[in-house]
Amino acid sequence: MPIDDLWYLRKRDPDTKKLIPSKRHGRGKRWRVRYTDADNNDREKLFDLKRDAEVFDVQCRAGAAPEVRVKREEARLTFGEYAQRWRESRESGWATETRRRIPQNLRKHLLPVFGAKAIRSINLTDVMGWLSRLLDDGTPKSSVSLYFGLFKTILNAAVIDKGFPTTPATG
């Protein structure tokens, strides 16, 4: 989230070594802060004073600015709740075997570990720990790959639905 000076270009004059004024020089608000809002959309806000832009930038980075705060119900959405919605929305196009297998894999392997966790709080360490436990328990690698694929699909859908900005399953 950089702070940009809209009155000067980033290039310097080769002769004087001074910044080159832009077309906007002296008109309008000078400082621009680019940030990502709560819905994961890129936004910008303009300021007259650099210190105001810096304060807003710090608030955005900390998640304290109203523009970037996530709604409480979205922040508390658990993996189990989202997985249930995900399954119900896609179930109609599945074959009979898939309709049986997906809920079973969710119930046995994903929900006991991640079901009660807020989907936004799942991190790479949690995922790696879960995969390590599966392998340590002697779960075949093909099954671990299947469970992880289902987990990754659900998290990718949550990112697309703007449930959270990134997925820990890609790390």
pLDDT digits (tens, 9 = 90+) for 26-50: 888 999 998 887 766 788 899 999 9
Mean pLDDT within 104-132: 90
In degrees, to the nearest 5, what angle opens at C-alpha 29 toward C-alphas 26 and 32?
120
Burial class (CB in 10 A: 0-12, 13-18, 19+), 44: exposed
Domain with CATH 1.10.150.130 in the chain: 74-170
Asked if the model's pLDDT at residue 157 lies above 90, the reply is no
What mean pLDDT, rounded, does the chain reach? 84
pLDDT number for residue 74 = 62
Residue (of 28, 46, 39) closest to 164 by Cα position: 39
Residue 83's Cβ-side half-sphere holds a number of Cα atoms within 13 Å equal to 24
Class of domain 74-170: mainly alpha
Asked if the model's pLDDT at residue 148 lies above 90, the reply is yes
